[in-house]
Chain A
Amino acid sequence: MLVAEKIGKRFPGVVALDEVSMELLAGKVTAIIGENGAGKSTLMKILSGVYPEYEGRVLYKGTEVKFANPKEAQECGIAIIHQELNLIPDLSIAENIYLGREVTNEFGVLRKRLMREKTQELLDKLKLTVNPDTLVRDLKVGQQQVVEIAKALLTDAEVIIMDEPTSAISDHEVDILFGIIENLRRENKAIVYISHKLDELFRIADRYIVLRDGRVTEAGEMKGIDHDAIINKMVGREVKMVNKGSRVVGTEKLLEVNRLSLRPLDSLKRMLLDDISFHLFRGEILGVFGLMGAGRTELLESVFGLHPSKCVGEISIEQHKIKLRSPEDAINAGIALVPEDRKKDGLVLGLDVKTNISVSVLDQVSYAGILSDKKEVDLAQQYISSLRIKTPSCKEKVKNLSGGNQQKVVLARCLATRPKLLMLDEPTRGVDANAKHEIYKLIFELSEAGLGLIVVSSELPEILAVSDRILVMSEGKITAEFSSHDANEDNILKAAIPKTI
């Protein structure tokens, strides 16, 4: 269907792709695997017309094509569904699907009924039972993804590229998505599936292509290759699953949360946090698992003082009750939070590494209110080496770092405040397998140094790998607690699935 020959793409200072050749077959799902920065996104952006300039050539159904922009690629039959969905929240599903290719009558007036009916047909086909007039704003993330797919189908796309489609949706929605992909495969579409989640690839993909440092290192059938072999090819060396070893947990209570509740903005909705009580020992790693909307993030935010006016309950650090009115208070009380979305909430991307690390502790790096460049650089260097942050210098802009290293910069900023309690929300989202293990290692090192850690994750293997104890949340409540010996994927999931549907 689509053949790429010796594709090369250079950016100032880096070779993003180097003579990459690959082939997409009709009726097959091809998985593109690689660490962050391996060149997956660049390759997809070339195929979908985002980057019009590159070396090598692309053959589509046997003829060479060169797209000047994404629209040309779409018209040709290549659709891409980006990780960040490109929908307009205040337009309806039908309006979104027809955006840029509205059907009009001879006077230029929109044929709304026709478009609505066509949209309905598409939605039926994709088994999304909502009205085409629904605003996209009111849809769940998973449903929005289906709308994106409908958009691709409307143009009769033959090649559909999905970039990390499951990064923000629940397991149930993943099942629906896979059903849709199954149907598309039967209709002889060529599908490209990019994901970090290897388990998914084994479920859905027929073939795989592994990219590393801009080159194809391996390609073949999904059958006859296993988990470890793929990871091996991605990183170029053996990566073992983390080994916790024997863990010693302190007996001193570091954090105690008593009857914490969080009111929603809208009084009709259920409580976001409903009567939550738990504790954390010094040196302990507490895993918190929950599905989308279970209240995991809200729990961390409340303990971090982000919702002072909507929150009731008691929080004590080292047996002292504390009142948290702002993140500033929380930081002063020895609490630190690594937020879920590091680009949105964690980092000032346009500023350099040292500035991002020192921003919470500027008084530590000043003399009489005047910042000292030397002290700031020293502080940054200390964390760059202790957290093994890979950066050309501490004056590099954070946006030029890889996902894993950006995450470490956030971690460095938090550690610079010398916290007793470190809370990590989805610490390994969007980082590659290798960086993941680095971060797990750091988590263990920190707990051995006496910190209490709370790790929130939507990935079960992650929770099971790092936690000493696991809390499961569902609909704002804690529904189960397991020690690491008793926990397994089954009992955790059972406790996480909401009872009221």
Chain B
Amino acid sequence: MDISQYRSKLARFQSSIALFVLCLALSILSDKFLTPENGWNILRQTSVNVCISVGMTLVVLTAGIDLSVGAVLALSGAVAAGLLKTGIELPSNDLFVGFTLLGTIVVGLITGSFLGFFNGWVITRFKVPPFVATLAMLTIARGFTMLWTKGYPISGLGPNFAFIGTGWFLGVPVLVWIALIVVVVAVIISNKTAFGRYIYAIGGNESAAKLSGIDIGKVKVLVYTIAGALAAVGGIMVTSRLDSAQPNAGMGYELDSIAAVVIGGTSLSGGRGSIMGTVLGALIIGVLNNGLVLLDVSPFWQQVVKGLVILLAVIIDKVNSKAE
């Protein structure tokens, strides 16, 4: 095996290595880091970002971007919380529609899926660049969240709903179970189904994909719909964990999620990357956040460090792909 082969092996596992080194360093620097409680803590905190970032990965693989995930998360969570708390009153008929727990969750997910579908429709039907279309959706969804919540948090959602965010199942937090299921399904879809293959083909060369008989529009709309749905999953998770739907929930989540995708080695120009890479990326960010808090680093410095890590990840990726 010559050097270039070592190099490409190394490149493949760069995220895992980075994560390992990071954990090693933190466990030496802080005795609070390597404890079971802290481990579950990190996984619970990361689980929301993992869900959103899985959707983001699919979008980025098609050479798109979704800036609206944070706002979609907020609106979906708020819709679910609002319905759970008060149901819908139709004053004209003196009718009251109450929602079960499952019902509110389903409506929340439908809300997110629909917003994602709308993104995809605008992008494919009117050829609006994804950056612009989802930027518009960001403010639209945020605006609707404010309208729906009238600017106040919706709190006190009851123990059943809170179980999602705080409960445990088979010794593992429910939030982590959700993220795990999302990841497993996404890995299968992206590697083992025609739909997943089409995502890579479109990102790699859209025009060749089209001439191969792939319905580009359908695939893209589905990808954005999935991204919206997963943002809604994140919305339910966040709302449940806080036992409250905050009108400004998910602010800036799109950036954490893009960071996870990029650190995980997915190319922003599409066609190259993986779900597992993104999971590692999200974990790196999660561990970093956690470690900096444990080490008592000021939150302002935390932001600086996070930014530098993103830059470093992209630079390493560039250097590696050049060597290839």
Q: Which residues of A contact B (CB under 8 A)?
A: 12-13, 304, 306, 326-328, 330-332, 337, 339, 344-351, 355, 359-360, 362-363, 366, 369-371, 413, 417
Are A327's CB and B188's CB within 8 A? Answer: no
Residues of B within 8 A of A337 (CB): 211
Asked whether B197 lies within 8 Å of A326 as measured between CB atoms, the reply is no
| Chain A residues whose C-beta falls within 8 Å of the C-beta of B211 in the assembled complex | 304, 306, 327, 337, 339, 345-346
Q: A362: which B residues are within 8 A, CB to CB?
A: 194, 197
Contact B210 A359, beta carbon cutoff 8 Å:
no
Report A-chain residues with C-beta under 8 Å of the C-beta of B205.
344-345, 347-349
Instruction: Write the chain A residue with the least CB distance to B8.
Output: A12
Distance from A341 Cβ to chain B, minimum over Cβ atoms (Å): 9
Residues of A close to B102: CB separation below 8 A: none
* Contact across chains for B193 and A366 when beta carbons are under 8 A apart: yes
User: What distance in Å separates the Cβ of A356 from its nearest Cβ neighbour in chain B?
Assistant: 8
B258 to chain A, nearest CB (A): 21
**A359-B212 contact, Cβ under 8 Å, with A347-B205, A351-B200, A371-B194:** yes
Q: Size class of B's contact patch? A: 20 to 34
- Is the beta-carbon distance between B271 and A359 smaller than 8 angstroms? no
Are A371's CB and B204's CB within 8 A?
no
Interface string of B201-217 (1 = CB under 8 A from A): 10011011111111100
In the complex, are the beta carbons of B200 and A360 less than 8 A apart?
Answer: no
In the complex where A337-B211, A345-B211, A371-B194 touch, is A359 in contact with B201 (Cβ < 8 A)? yes
A13 to B1, CA, bound (A): 12
**In the complex, given contacts A351-B201, A351-B271, A369-B194, what are 12 additional A-B residue pairs having Cβ atoms less than 8 angstroms apart?**
A12-B4, A328-B214, A344-B205, A346-B208, A347-B208, A349-B204, A350-B272, A359-B201, A369-B193, A371-B192, A371-B194, A417-B213
Q: A327-B213, A351-B200, A359-B214 are in contact. Are A345 and B208 (CB under 8 A)?
A: yes
Q: Top 7 A-B pairs ranked by shortest CB distance?
A: A348-B204, A362-B194, A331-B213, A328-B213, A348-B205, A360-B212, A345-B207
**Residues of B participating in the A interface, judged by any CB pair closer than 8 Å:** 4, 188, 191-194, 197-198, 200-201, 204-205, 207-215, 271-272
Q: Which residue of the partner chain B has the closest CB to A372? A: B192
A348 touches B194 (CB 8 A): no
Q: Tally A-B pairs: CB < 8 A.
A: 75
Q: Please, which residues of chain A bring their CB within 8 A of the CB of B201?
A: 348, 351, 355, 359
Q: How far apart are the CA atoms of A13 and B8 in the complex, in Å? A: 14
Query: Chain A residues near B209 (CB, 8 Å)?
Result: 348, 359
CB contacts (< 8 Å) of A12 on chain B: these are 4
27 contacts between A and B (CB under 8 A): A306-B211, A326-B213, A330-B213, A331-B213, A332-B213, A339-B208, A344-B205, A344-B207, A344-B208, A346-B208, A346-B211, A348-B200, A348-B201, A348-B209, A349-B204, A349-B205, A350-B204, A355-B200, A359-B209, A359-B212, A360-B213, A362-B197, A366-B194, A370-B192, A371-B191, A371-B197, A413-B212
Chain B residues whose CB sits within 8 angstroms of the CB of A328 once the complex forms: 213-215
A454 to chain B, nearest CB (A): 15
Residues of chain A with a CB closer than 8 A to B207's CB: 344-345
Closest Cβ neighbor of B210 among chain A residues: A327
Cβ contacts under 8 Å, B210 to chain A: 327
Which applies to chain B's interface (DSSP): helix, strand, loop or mixed? helix
B193 touches A370 (CB 8 A): yes
Q: Which residues of B contact A371 (CB under 8 A)?
A: 191-194, 197
Taking CB atoms, residues of chain A closer than 8 Å to B213 are 326-328, 330-332, 360, 417
Per a CB cutoff under 8 Å, which of A331, A345, A355 touches B197?
A355
Interface centre among A346, A347, A351, A369 (most CB of B within 10 A): A351
How distant is the Cα of A346 from the Cα of B200 in the complex, in angstroms?
Answer: 15
Chain A residues near B192: list those with CB within 8 A: 370-371
Q: Give A413 to B209 CA distance when docked, in angstroms.
A: 11
CA of A326 to CA of B210, assembled, Å: 9
Residue among A326, A363, A366, A370 making CB contact with B188, cutoff 8 Å: A370
Closest to B194 in A: A362
Bound Cα distance from A191 to B200, whole angstroms:
43
Instruction: List residues of chain B with CB within 8 A of the CB of A369.
Output: 193-194
- A370–B205 Cα distance when bound, in Å, is 23
Given the complex, which residues of B lie within 8 Å of A327, measured CB to CB?
210-213
Q: Which residues of the partner chain A approach B194 to less than 8 Å between Cβ atoms?
A: 362-363, 366, 369, 371
With A327-B212, A331-B213, A359-B201 as given contacts, are A348 and B271 in contact (CB-CB < 8 Å)?
Answer: yes
Contact B271 A350 (CB under 8 A): yes
Cα A360 to Cα B215 with chains together (Å): 11
A339 vs B212: C-alpha distance when bound (angstroms): 10
Whether the Cβ atoms of A351 and B204 lie closer than 8 Å is: yes
| Distance between B201 CB and nearest chain A CB, rounded to angstroms | 5
Closest to B7 in A: A12
Q: Which residues of A contact B197 (CB under 8 A)?
A: 355, 359, 362, 371
Q: Smallest CB–CB gap between A88 and chain B, Å?
A: 20
Q: Say whether A326 contacts B208, CB under 8 Å.
A: no
**Bound Cα distance from A330 to B213, whole angstroms:** 8
Instruction: Tell me, rounded to whole Å, the shortest Cβ–Cβ distance linking A438 to chain B.
Output: 22
* Distance A470 CA – B231 CA, assembled complex (angstroms): 57
- B85 CB to closest chain A CB (Å) equals 40
Contact partners of A306 in chain B: CB under 8 A: 211
Expressed in whole angstroms, the Cα–Cα distance for A189 and B210 within the complex equals: 46
Query: A413 — which chain B residues lie within 8 A by C-beta?
Result: 212
Q: How far is the CB of B101 from chain A (nearest CB, A)?
A: 31
The CA of A330 and the CA of B207, in the complex, are separated in Å by 16
Q: How far apart are the CA atoms of A398 and B178 in the complex, in Å?
A: 38
Output the residue of B192, B193, B194, B212 with the most chain A CB within 10 A: B212
The minimal Cβ–Cβ distance linking B63 to chain A, given in whole angstroms, is 12
Q: CA of A164 to CA of B208 in the docked complex: distance in angstroms? A: 24
- Given the complex, which residues of A lie within 8 Å of B191, measured CB to CB? 371
